[in-house]
Amino acid sequence: MSKRIAIVGGGVVGLSSAYYAARKGHDVTIIERGNPDHDSCSLGNAGMIVPSHFVPLAAPGMISLGLRMMFNRESPFTVRPRLSRDLIRWGWQFWRSCTKSHVSRSAPVLRDLNLKSRRNFLELAETIGQDFGLTTRGLMMLCKTEHMLFEESKTAEYARELGIPAEVLTPDAASKLNPGLQLDIAGAVYFPEDAHLTPEWFIPRLTKAIDQMGVKFEWSTDVLGWRTQNRRVEAMLTSQGEVVADEYVIAAGSWSNSLTSGLKLRLSMQAGKGYSVTMPRPQQKPAMGCILTEARVAITPMGTGLRVGGTMEVTGLDTSINHRRVQGIFKSVPQYFPAFKVEDFQTLPIWCGLRPCSPDGLPYIGRAANYDNFSVATGHAMMGLSLGPITGQLMAEVLSDESPSLDLNPLRPDRYA
C-alpha cells in the first residue's frame, strides 16, 4: 500500500531513504532547511565505503587515547569542556560502551551494514548512472611505526575472522599497489573490499534520480514542532505550514536531536566536527583511499584531485574553523608522503562538517517506540556516506511494514531513552 512519507533532511541518509521508499511506490517529500545547493555532512568528507571500519568508535583504549590527545592543540581529537547535561550524559554512556564485549557485539553489525551498503552502491552505479567516481580498489591503512603496524595487524586478523579480507603489507608491497607514489612507512594493512567515490558527484546524481522518480522537495523549510495524538504523529509543523503524512522520518544528522523535542524521544548524540581540503592537481596520488593511521587522517583520490581530511572535535553545533587542528592535518601528510610539503595545503579552501555521533558508535535506525509512524535514521558518525544506501533500504522496509533485511534491535532509536 502506498503511503505519504515525509523525510526531514536532504543529506545522503535522507536522500537514500527517499530513493528506496520511492522505489517501493510511496509518495515521498523531503523537508530540508537548506536551499537546493545546500551543504551537508557528506559533501566534503573522504568519500570512503568502509567494510574495514567494523570496530565502533567506542572501543577499549579510546578514553585514555582521547585524554592524551586533548592536551595537544593540533591533535585529531578534542572535546570542548562545557556545562552541558547532554554532553556529560553522552560521555558517561560512551565510557560504558568502551568494552571488549561491546566491540564483539557491534563488529558483526557494522560489518553487515557496510558490506550490504557496498553492494547497494554497485547497484546504484547501474541504476542511476556510474558517473560519481565509484572506485573499488580497496583501502590502505598506512602505519608510520612498527608499533602501529603490529596493532593494525591484530585488527586485520580480527577482520579475517569476520570474513573481511585483509592483508598486512611491507612498504614495497604497499608501493606496488600505488605506482609512482612515494611512501615513508613501516608497513600497511590492505582491505580490498573497501571503495571510494566523489561525494560532490554522488549527492547531486542521487538528488536528480529521486527528483525524476517523483520525490518532492520542500527547500528552505524549518521544522518547528509536531502535532501528536496517542501513538501517532498527526502533522509536522514547519516554517512553511503543516506537513501531513502517514509516516515521518528524521534524518537530519547532528541536528536530529533538536528536532525530536516534544516527542518523548531523546537521542543521545554529539556532533563531531571534521575538516577537509581538496588539492585540485596534486603532484602524486594514491590509487586508493588511505588512512594515515597514527595521525587519523584520510586521503582519497577524487577525479584529478586529492582530498585530505580528519579530526573529531566534539564542540556542539559549531561550524567555526579551528586552524590549529587543520594545521595538524597538514603536518601529518608529509610524514607519510614525502613528496608533499605543508605549504602545499595552506591556501586551499577549508571545508568543515558535523558528524552525528552516538555514544556506542552505532547508528540510530528504525521506528521510535512511542509512535507507530515516526522513525529515525541518524547517528552514523564518520560512516554516514558509507552506510547511506543500506540505511535507506532498511528505512524503506520499515516504512513499508516489511521485515527488515537486517536485525535493527542493536540500532533502535530508543536504546538510550
pLDDT at site 389: 98
List, in sequence order, the alpha helices (H) in 162-249: 171-176, 199-212
In words, the CATH class of domain 4-42+202-267+360-411 is alpha beta
Report residue 363 as a C-alpha cell.
547508528
Question: How many Cα neighbours within 13 Å face the side chain of 170?
Answer: 3
Residues of the chain with CATH 3.50.50.60: 4-42+202-267+360-411
> Side by side, which strands form the sheet with 4-8?
216-218, 27-31, 4-8, 247-250, 374-378, 364-367
**Rounded CA gap, 396 and 9, in Å?**
15
Q: Where in the chain is the domain with CATH 3.30.9.10?
A: 48-98+133-195+269-357
pLDDT, position 6: 98
Helix, strand and coil percent figures for the chain, each rounded to 5: 35, 25, 40
The answer to whether the beta carbons of residues 306 and 279 sit under 8 Å apart is: yes
Whether the CB-CB separation of 361 and 56 falls below 8 Å is answered with yes
Whether CATH 3.40.50.300 fits 48-98+133-195+269-357: no
Q: Locate 281 and state its grid cell.
A: 592537481
Name residue 348's amino acid.
L
Please give the chain's pLDDT, 417 residues, in tens: 899 999 999 999 999 999 999 999 999 999 999 998 888 888 999 999 999 999 999 999 888 888 788 778 888 888 888 888 999 999 999 999 999 999 999 999 999 999 999 999 999 999 998 789 999 999 999 999 999 999 999 999 999 999 999 999 999 999 999 999 999 999 999 999 999 999 999 999 999 999 999 999 999 999 999 999 999 999 999 999 999 999 999 999 999 999 987 898 889 999 999 999 999 999 999 999 999 999 999 999 999 999 999 999 998 999 999 999 999 999 999 999 999 999 999 999 999 999 999 999 999 999 999 999 999 999 999 999 999 999 999 999 999 999 999 999 999 999 998
pTM above 0.95, yes or no: yes
Beta bridge partners of 404: none
